[in-house]
Structure 1
């Protein structure tokens, strides 16, 4: 199931990139999404900046049909590989993620693009729940949870740009 989301910031592409690759920002985003625990790593690999966020989330919002797969908590692991800036300052990232010990995976891209005096961060993800028969029923709940988390992260990003 596809998820597309974008947010606009009153900042340059360089400033937005600096925020989304800042470990403290990512830790605050984990706190804002009510993570029970988390680990954030930001590393350089060649010309790329790799952001890995692992967070343990409560599963009380998970529908009953899926709870037997996940237990009391979910461990969400997301890795963003941000590539070097283009000449105009825009950035592209490859995103991979999973909910550990479940059949849930996500992959997609993120873009940071200047647009006049603002910068847009656009995220496109493909979320898969690889469970015969019920996977398609669970995907909308997973997508809604991811969307909610991303919206909270975007709100925090706007606070960081002011």
Structure 2
């Protein structure tokens, strides 16, 4: 497909975002099998949310009369491989949990950035259904990353407390 107009570029970028979300589900699954305790429940919950994010992207594509291709995102695959490489170093379960939280945060910020751009374009193009779908995802992702960041902070505090030195 030649990309000659902003609409063509929007469709292309929407396809990339769809690839990112599809690949992201693989990250959630991989993390859920590696983390422990309540973090596993958090990851599974976010995995369910990611299915809705993907559905919203598909709805946006349908609203503008196109469909998304199903491919893996090289960028998201890099995040996945970074975590897999870390796991191969045989870290403690606490360190896996901390690195998993960091990995989730990286993935979420990557997709938030992509959503922001496409949301803005959808507004400018007057694609109201896409605006609604992308805005819903953007708000949920921002809330999710804030929740994961709080969880990561609390986890860090718990992990550092035993090694903290008095002043």
Normalized against structure 1, the TM-score is what?
Answer: 0.31
More helix by share: 2
More strand by share: 1
Larger Rg: 2
Normalized against structure 2, the TM-score is what?
Answer: 0.31
